[in-house]
């Protein structure tokens, strides 16, 4: 998530339109549009915008730490391990085994969102992206798109795995991030709906069930 996107999320959590934020700060609405559309916005109004939103400037600029205006603790997300993510994604009758630690969403998510901590195996596989102990905030309702990190399972797998969804020449791959990602890439046909995933197997490409798109990566402290 870019700095501009963090500002947009903070504004929406505040319940303000771009025009209302502009009026509060004393700038034009187009200034807000421009700032929210930039990865690293540069504007003399930036500090005033962050203050008006009641946010942490370091978090807005770097993504380090947590936003000041997160959802209430009562809105904490369910928290699973990677094996449970696979079980609950494949079996609608599975009784969720929620891990004790709960985390509030640092950005807007659907009611289906959940979190998972990166374990040693996932950290070794995706070492360029995450470290052991990082918290992945995942949302199954976010449309799957190439270039996004996802939690996915393949037929016969017993756990969800963190991968980058990559599209090359019209074909999809679950890729391990790195200079030679193709060495560990798995060709697949991605599905986001359990029944469609279960009904398609075999063929030239194995199907993959996307359990959730990673919308935020945080440090477990």
Q: Considering only the top CATH level, what class is 3-62?
A: mainly alpha
> Comparing 3-62 with 73-219, is the CATH topology the same?
no
Distance of alpha carbon 216 from alpha carbon 139, whole angstroms: 10
pLDDT values of the chain reduced to their tens digit, one per residue, 221 residues:
788 888 888 887 777 889 989 999 999 999 999 998 888 888 888 888 988 888 878 778 887 665 665 443 446 788 899 999 998 888 877 777 778 777 887 777 887 899 999 999 999 888 888 999 899 999 998 888 999 999 999 888 889 999 999 998 888 999 887 655 566 788 899 999 888 888 876 555 689 999 999 999 986 44
Phi-psi region of 119 (alpha: psi -120 to 50; beta: other; left: phi over 0): beta
Cα 135 off chain centre by: 10
Domain boundaries, the chain: 3-62, 73-219
The pTM of this model reads 0.63
CA distance 151 to 207: 14
- Indicate the class that CATH gives domain 73-219: mainly beta
Residues in the chain: 221
Judge whether 12 and 69 are in contact, CB under 8 Å.
no
């Amino acid at each position: 998530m870019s700095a501009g996107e963090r500002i947009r999320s903070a504004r929406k959590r505040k319940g303000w339109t771009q025009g209302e934020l502009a009026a509060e700060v004393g700038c034009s609405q187009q200034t807000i549009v421009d700032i929210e559309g930039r990865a690293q916005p540069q504007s003399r109004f930036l500090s005033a915008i962050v203050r008006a939103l009641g946010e942490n400037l370091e978090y807005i600029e770097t993504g380090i730490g947590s936003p000041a205006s997160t959802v209430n603790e009562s809105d904490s997300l369910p928290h699973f391990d990677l094996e449970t993510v696979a079980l609950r994604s494949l079996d609608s009758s599975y009784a969720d085994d929620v891990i004790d630690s709960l985390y509030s969403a640092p950005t807007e998510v659907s009611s289906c969102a959940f979190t998972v901590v990166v374990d040693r195996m996932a950290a070794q596989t995706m070492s360029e992206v995450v470290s052991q102990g990082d918290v992945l905030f995942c949302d199954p309702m976010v449309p799957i798109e190439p270039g996004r990190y996802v939690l996915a399972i393949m037929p016969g797998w017993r756990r969800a795995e963190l991968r980058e969804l990559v599209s090359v020449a019209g074909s999809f791959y679950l890729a391990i991030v790195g200079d030679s990602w193709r060495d560990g890439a798995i060709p697949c046909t991605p599905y986001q709906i359990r029944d469609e995933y279960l009904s398609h197997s075999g063929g030239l490409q194995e199907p993959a069930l996307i359990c959730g798109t990673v919308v935020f990566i945080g440090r477990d402290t």
